[in-house]
């Protein structure tokens, strides 16, 4: 009991430290608060402008290279603040300039909340799959990840994507453990918002297919291979998550519905652009070096070494 309470206090302290680290850069680059007016990342400007005009943006958006779940979520959250300034007759604060400031701060606060949430969800996944001590180590690595801390202070899709991916994996594991339709519905919502925040979130379908396959094999271990294949393809959790995620994705990125040809053209254009980065021959040693370099830049060398060691010695 004492050990459990100690671990809970460590987790709480880690979340508080994680929140303080992520709040430290909240006002950087925002007019009125910082001498360095600008954006840490060009994606932030796109998110803020789409959130500012989100009702019109639904019908006028011509850039379907980015989904809009994050943009419109921030836009919806800003609505009460806009009306409050009008009701209070604060005319000076009822202009697009101040509305943009409100949206900028709200977007960054949301990113901070989701960044801290990602630490908690990472801990919970580690607790379910391994044990509490390893869960704390996983949370610790994310808490002090330099790249994650930096991006949690700005309104870009990266940290919300990491949160939603972690949340989806957590809910999926709980769905299959508890065999809960309610949790399957929540998993579908998380997956839909994940892809609606960043298109490459679609790769989360891979763990979905693997974990559902493992679930079917374990539950029906005495069934014939043909029956297992049928049970897998007809699994109700797989279908619930798939259908709900598709509905949530389309609802969060409605521009695809209104301008599907523009979306297809953008996908083809992006595919051609990414093909330029594929090397003519595959070099395993060079690829490993690139991964190590990317980890050391984003996490710092000590955490990168610890992370790679964790992959080798689970």
Q: What is the DSSP string of the chain?
A: -HHHHHHHHHHHHHHHHHHHHHHTTTTTT-TTT-SS-S-SSHHHHHHHHHHHTHHHHHHH---TTS--HHHHHHHHHHHHHHHHHHHTT-GGGSSHHHHHHHHHHHHHHHHHHHHHHHHHHHHHHHHHHS-HHHHHHHHHHHHT-HHHHHHTTS--SHHHHHHHHHHHHHHHHHHHHHT-HHHHHHHHHHHHHHHHH-GGGGGGHHHHHHHHHHHHHHHTTTS-HHHHHHHHHT-HHHHHHHHHHHHHHHHH-THHHH-HHHHHHHHHHHHHHHHTTS-SS--HHHHHHHHHHHHHHHH-HHHHHHHHHHHH--
Same-domain status, 3 and 85? yes
Q: Could you say which of 155, 175, 191 is where a domain stops? A: 155
| Domain region containing 67 | 1-155
Q: Could you say which of 124, 155, 186 is where a domain stops? A: 155
* Predicted pLDDT of residue 289: 75
CB-based contact 45:52 (threshold 8 Å): no
Same-domain status, 145 and 1? yes
Same-domain status, 47 and 145? yes
Same-domain status, 138 and 29? yes
Same-domain status, 127 and 201? no
Q: Answer yes or no: is 24 within a domain.
A: yes
Same-domain status, 134 and 43? yes
Q: Answer yes or no: is 273 within a domain.
A: no
Number of structural domains, the chain? Answer: 2
pTM of the model: 0.83
Same-domain status, 137 and 167? no
Q: Answer yes or no: is 179 within a domain.
A: yes
Report which of 166, 161, 312, 182 is spatially closest to residue 240, judged by C-alpha positions.
Answer: 182
* Predicted pLDDT of residue 73: 92
Per-residue pLDDT tens listing for the chain (314 residues): 555 666 678 889 999 999 999 998 888 877 666 656 666 677 888 888 888 888 787 787 777 778 889 999 998 888 887 777 666 555 555 566 677 888 888 999 999 999 999 999 999 999 998 888 889 988 998 999 888 998 998 889 999 999 999 999 999 999 999 999 999 999 999 999 999 999 889 999 999 999 999 999 998 888 888 998 999 999 999 999 999 999 999 999 988 888 777 777 777 776 666 665 555 555 667 767 777 777 666 666 666 676 666 666 55
Q: Answer yes or no: is 282 within a domain.
A: no
Same-domain status, 109 and 6? yes
């Amino acid at each position: 009991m004492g050990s459990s309470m100690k671990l809970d206090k460590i987790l709480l302290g880690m979340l508080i430290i994680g929140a303080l680290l992520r709040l430290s850069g909240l006002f950087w680059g925002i007019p009125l608060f910082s001498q360095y007016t600008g954006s840490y990342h060009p994606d932030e400007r796109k998110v803020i402008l789409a959130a500012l005009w989100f009702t019109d943006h639904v019908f006028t958006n011509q850039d379907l290279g980015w989904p809009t779940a994050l943009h419109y979520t921030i836009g919806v959250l800003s609505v009460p603040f806009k009306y409050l300034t009008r009701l209070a007759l604060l005319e000076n604060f009822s202009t697009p300039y101040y509305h943009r400031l409100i949206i900028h701060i709200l977007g960054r606060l949301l990113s901070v909340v989701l960044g801290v949430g990602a630490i908690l969800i990472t801990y919970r996944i580690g607790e379910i799959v391994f044990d509490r001590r390893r869960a704390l180590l996983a949370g610790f690595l994310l808490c002090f990840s330099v790249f994650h801390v930096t991006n949690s202070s700005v309104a870009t899709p990266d940290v919300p994507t990491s949160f939603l991916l972690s949340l989806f994996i957590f809910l999926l594991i709980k769905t299959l453990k508890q065999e809960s339709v309610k949790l399957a519905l929540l998993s579908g919502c998380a997956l839909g918002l994940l892809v609606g925040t960043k298109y490459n979130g679609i790769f989360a379908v891979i763990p979905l297919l693997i974990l559902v396959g493992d679930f079917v094999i374990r539950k029906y271990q005495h069934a014939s291979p043909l029956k297992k294949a049928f049970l897998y393809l007809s699994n109700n959790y797989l279908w619930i998550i798939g259908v709900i995620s598709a509905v949530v994705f389309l609802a969060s990125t409605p521009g695809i519905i209104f301008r599907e040809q523009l979306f297809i053209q953008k996908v083809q254009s992006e595919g051609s652009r990414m093909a330029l980065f594929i090397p003519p021959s595959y070099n395993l040693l060079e690829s490993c070096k690139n991964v190590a370099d990317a980890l050391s830049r984003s996490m710092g060398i000590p955490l990168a070494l610890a992370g790679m060691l964790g992959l080798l010695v689970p």
